[in-house]
Each structure stands twice: as structure tokens, then as C-alpha cells.
Chain A
Amino acid sequence: MLADFGSDAAVYAGGTELLIVMKERLAHFPHLVDIKRIPGLKEITFNAERRELTIGAVATHRDLERSPLVRERFPALSAMAAAVANIRVRNAGTIGGNLCFAEPHSDPATLLSALDARLTLVSTSGTRQLPMASFLTGLMETARHHDELLVTIAVPEPPSNAGVAYERFKLHERPTAAVAAVIEVADGVISDARVVVGSVGERPQRLPATEAVLRGQPAAAATATIAADVIRDEVETSGSVFESEAYTRQLARTVGRRAVAAAIQRVTGEEGGRRAA
């Protein structure tokens, strides 16, 4: 159907974003293709061999929040899903819809980028996989073609020596700044780090300079403060009409310090090796 209707059709899932822009007449689609009744597209499963979570594209934020599997193995992901917008949006809105809409203040996009998620897209001509960074191409733009459907989001389980945290600052419905951090620690020293800032630019940004500074640092609270200054300088802002650049950088610094500190604390703070993903 998507191939037949071309740009006259939009994929319709939760409708939490799409119906708002259509009601505002910012978008017009003669046809909506509801994909929620496709069997299996809502499932959340964990493959123990590949150590990988697979989220069906029409799983709602609420499904992700309440999945015992996600709560146990990916608590940061569960907590993020529990904080998206409000209870009604979480009941209706889907993870796949959220990612395909590519709203720059998406909570899932920021955390899933840091978790190195891969998206599977299918069309009548085949299947392809894309990492988050290649999928999100710009402000409300993705690499998805008209005739393609996002079917699953695969999230590798972080190693047992990794801590994951997602922190944000929010005044209204969507975050003003958000930072996700995945920090690996070996012998008290940070061995690897992935830090992604979201909501401040057109799409989530990996912060390689911040990650480079983190590697080799002691896994201690003071390290988060060092990283925070690098985050402030490294982040690219999109010149919002609502916030000045200096304010955005300062927010990213504060939220980033909290995220890095929380990730470090999750991996070092608890003896007995409770999984901190």
C-alpha cells in the first residue's frame, strides 16, 4: 500500500504526532496506513545468544516501560519510557512512530542513540538495517523511504561493566536538553564511553571529544564535572528561538554532568554486581 500510494500516504501508528500536524494543516495525507494490527509488530523480546533486545515498532512507550524484560535488563530504557510526555501519549504513542517522526526533542532517540540501537526497515524490495545515526538525518527527517516500514529496533545489551543513564531538563511537554551516557569501567578507570546529547539541535549528537576525555579517567564523581565542561563546549546548538545559545550550553553542561555521574555511579556504586544497564 505504501508503494502504491507513494507520498499520498503516511504510516499511521499511535497518531500522537501525526494527527496533531494534520489537524494544524501542517501536513496533508489523503491516506493513512494503520500498521498497528500487523501481527508481531508490537513484541518486545530478548535474544540471550546475541544479548540483544528487539522492540517491535508499534510497541507503545507504556509497553516498553512495563515490560518486565526491559525493567530487568535495561532499567534506564524503562525509566526513560516511563517519563515520555504524559500517560495518554505513552498509552497511544509508539517507539517506532516516535523515531520516524524525528522530532528533535525525542526522549527515545537520544537514549537509543547512546545504546547503539539498530533499526530494521522493510519494503517490497527488501530489508535493510541502519544505526540510529544514519537513520536520523535531520530536523524531522529520516533515511526511511516512502515505501519503507520501520519494523524493529534492536538494542544490544551493554556489557556488565557498563552504567547507563539518561537525564534531561524539561519545562513543558518535551525536554529542553537531554544527555544519555553509557560508561564502561575496568579496574576503577573508564575504559569506554558513549555520550549523546539530544533536544538541543536538529537530532541527537554523539560527543566524541567528551568521550575521549572520559576514557582513562577515574570512575569518580569528579570526572563528571570535567566531562561537563567539555560537553558545554562541544555541543552544537540549533539556534532555538526559545533559548539563547549560552543558556542551552549551560543546560547541556548541567544535564550532562548528572548523566555521566549517574552512569558512573550505576556501575561503581553498588557492590555485588547488580546489572546497571
Chain B
Amino acid sequence: MPLETTDPAKMRLNATVNGRVVSLEIEPRAILLDVLRDDLQLTGTKRSCDTQVCGACTILLDGLPVSACCTLAYEIDGREVETIEGLAGPDGLHPIQQAFVDRVAIQCGFCTPGFVLTTKALLTENPCPTRSEIEDYLGGNLCRCTGYWNILEAVEDAAARVGPANGRSEAP
């Protein structure tokens, strides 16, 4: 990895974040969540449990959901990160975000970025998930407002909007 830094105790990090190439000097021990929030001002990624249990800090690393709170920032060197800020396009919200809005799958909103990104990864892997597949995949995202019912409906709605044939899969 490239090592040109002004501070010898730091290392250089080159990554793609939400489609933009970024180059930063970080401490080797820096946690990705802090780098996203403090250095890149991407505060949509939330700190909550800080132990990889709740999913509020979910980001996509090369398309896979991981907890930014328990990932060393150096891990993203040469890789692609997507945070909630990267979803909406020039024409407005991403269809998954729109489904969450339309289904009122948001109460306080703190868990929402994590749920939306986990949903994106789910639908990339499995465009027409069953209810039980959705429950399994999102089982590690917690909503303390307990608004799970609307969230499950929003994910089903999002699947219908972004799925290959806008259709539902066969029954389980």
C-alpha cells in the first residue's frame, strides 16, 4: 500500500467512497466509522452499539454489508465503500429509500441508513426474497422504535420496485 504521508505515524488511504476517489492520511488504528463521520463528514452512518450488534453503522464494502464501527479504516484501501449518502441520484431518492418513505418505515430514523443499505445488499444478491429470507438477512439490524412491520413491508415494496421483472418470487 502507498505510504507517502506527511506524518510518519500515519498511512495513506486511497479508496472510492460513494463513487468518488478519496485520498486520506489516517492513523493505522483509525476506525472506519470515525473516518467516515469525522474526516469525510458522512454522518449518515450512525454509531450506536459500537459492538457490531445493532446495524446502525452498516456500510457496503465492495457491495457487502459490514459494521463500520468494527472495521479498521485501512481495510478500505483500494476498495469501494457505499454509505447512505451515495444512494440518492440526481433524480431523487433511490427506489429503496422511496419505498421506506412511502411505507412509513421510519420512526426516529436512526436505524434507517443501516436498514436501507442492508436491503440494497439483500436485493442485489436476491432480487425477489421471501418474507422469511428478508427476516433472516435483516435479523442483525435493530430498530429500537420497533417499527419492524413497516420495514418488512418496505423491503417487499422495494423488491417489487427494483426487482428484475418488478415481480415477486414464487412462494417459499
Contact = CB atoms under 8 A, between A and B. Distances in A.
Interface of A: 15-16, 19-20, 23, 32, 62, 85-89, 91-92, 173
Contacts of B121: 87
Interface string B46-84: 000011110100100100111100111000000000000
A103 to B, nearest CB: 13
A87 B137 CA distance: 6
Q: Which bucket holds chain B's interface residue count?
A: 20 to 34
Interface string B1-40: 0000000000000000000000000000001000000000
Q: Which of B53, B58, B118 has the most CB of A within 10 A?
A: B53
- Secondary structure at chain A's binding surface: helix, strand, loop or mixed? helix
B126 to A, nearest CB: 12
A94 to B, nearest CB: 13
A120 B21 CA distance: 40
Contacts, number: 50
28 contacts: A15-B70, A15-B72, A16-B52, A16-B70, A19-B31, A19-B71, A20-B70, A23-B50, A62-B64, A85-B52, A86-B53, A86-B140, A86-B141, A87-B65, A87-B118, A87-B139, A87-B140, A88-B55, A88-B58, A88-B67, A88-B140, A89-B52, A89-B140, A91-B61, A91-B64, A91-B65, A92-B71, A173-B53
Nearest to A85: B140
Nearest to B57: A88
A87 B50 CA distance: 16
Contacts of B65: 87-88, 91
A85 B54 CA distance: 11
Given A32-B72, A86-B52, 6 more contacts: A16-B70, A19-B31, A19-B72, A86-B53, A88-B65, A89-B67
